[in-house]
Amino acid sequence: MTLVRREQLLRVVLLCLALATVGCDRVTKHIAAASLAGTEARSYWGDLLWLGYTENTGAFLSLGSGLPEMARTVLFTWGTGAMLIALAAVAIRARAWTAMGLTLFVAGGLSNWFDRATTGHVVDFMNVGIGSLRTGVFNVADVAIMMGAALFVLDELRRNTRVYSGRNGGDGEEATRRRGGAEMHGGSPQSD
């Protein structure tokens, strides 16, 4: 397969991934609003999963929900919108796994951004945990954002490990010993 063909295929995969992410989030938020709003929270599997309707006017874990409305609009609508555009531009040019991570991150962010821009809040409805150890309330877009961030970080770590292990014929064990910073070559430091 030619490089151009692979890049085209990757773009199609990224578009499908973004559409599926936004679509799943929109559908689940609609179902949550229709079936959970105004009702008592529901607990499943010994309180492992909790479903309940909440409207989050803040960011992740309701951070910033106490800010004045104008500040929330500027920060969470305009600021987030600009960041998502920049990340989308980076994703288009990124390597495959990094691009997939950024696509998940941007698609989840875009779906939450749409809620904030149109209603001033994001619908959250899931919470998981055991006993008093629990997550915050979240939605499918938040899962995509976290998965995208994890995929991005894992790909960067994998890439950096490969770069270190490839120097001077070194192997993975040597790369593990050489963590960041300058390395000694012939008695003098050589920076990355």
**Given the residues 25, 124, 155, 192, the one annotated as active site:** 124
Q: What distance in Å separates the CA atoms of residue 69 and residue 124, rounded to the nearest whole number? A: 19
Residue 47 bears catalytic tag: no
Dihedral angle, C-alpha 171, 173, 175, 176, nearest 10 °: 170
Token look-up 């959970």 returns 36
Residue 124 bears catalytic tag: yes
Q: What distance in Å separates the CA atoms of residue 56 and residue 138, rounded to the nearest whole number? A: 9
H/E segment holding residue 13:
helix 3-35
**Given the residues 25, 47, 115, 142, the one annotated as active site:** 142
Dihedral angle, C-alpha 180, 146, 155, 89, nearest 10 °: -100
Contacts of 174 (CB under 8 A, 6+ apart): 164, 165
β-pairing, 49-56 with 133-134? unpaired
Tell me which amino acid residue 96 is.
A
CB 57 within 8 A of CB 72: yes
Instruction: Give the catalytic positions in this structure.
Output: 124, 142
